[in-house]
Amino acid sequence: MIQIKNIPVEKTYTVRLNVLRPHQSISDCQYDGDTDELTKHFGAYLDNKLIGIVSIYKSKIKHIDDKNCWQIRAMAIIKNIRKKGYASSLLKVAETYALKNGANYIWCNARISAIGFYEKHNYKLYGDEFNVKDIGPHYIMIKDCFVD
Ligand SMILES: CC(C)(COP(=O)(O)OP(=O)(O)OC[C@H]1O[C@@H](n2cnc3c(N)ncnc32)[C@H](O)[C@@H]1OP(=O)(O)O)[C@@H](O)C(=O)NCCC(=O)NCCS
């Protein structure tokens, strides 16, 4: 049975490194806003082992004229146990936290390989493809919290 917990940012680093930044270092796994007051980090535990993470930040995006924008970042599930709904469970917890705090829009910088996952959760592609150094092509994806 999966258990989702609010975790300190330091606990996200190994999964951030192993899944999202295998060619980088722990210092590259520390992001702006990680310790902001409203930021939350969630971990998914299976048999007491951390198998997935997600972080959420109150963060404006220049493309949207709205103060209540939140960003999903560092969404990751370890290999071999994907496609079992664990990322969806984590995303739901993070979104619920943002909604309780007044989110009107939730957005992310999505890797091309993760677009299908976010589309399943009603995020829409926005703008042009862009490159993130050392990681690859991304798109901004935005969810309007008032549209199903
Ligand atoms: C993207 C990721 C987090 C998805 O995790 P997951 O646990 O496999 O996702 P879920 O099982 O909750 O998937 C929910 C739905 O999205 C679909 N889905 C998941 N990943 C998908 C993908 N890459 N492309 C298309 N659909 C996808 C699933 O099939 C499932 O659909 P269903 O409800 O019809 O069965 C995981 O593949 C991962 O960690 N990838 C590497 C890190 C990464 O790219 N993170 C995103 C950074 S932007």
Of the chain, the end-to-end C-alpha distance in Å amounts to 28
Domain extents in the chain: 2-144
Confidence label for 98 from pLDDT (cuts 50, 70 and 90): very high
Give me the CATH topology for the region 2-144. Answer: Aminopeptidase (3.40.630)
CA of 63 to the centre of ligand 1 (A): 26
Residues 53-86: tens digit of each pLDDT: 999 999 999 889 999 999 999 999 999 999 999 9
Strands across the sheet containing 2-6: 2-6, 40-46, 49-58, 69-77, 105-111, 136-144, 124-132
- pTM, entire model: 0.97
117 lines ligand 1 (CB under 6 A): yes
Ligand 1: residue whose CA is nearest its atom 30:
83
DSSP-H helix ranges across 19-70? none
Q: What is the pLDDT of residues 21-56, one digit of tens each?
A: 999 999 999 999 999 999 999 999 999 999 999 999
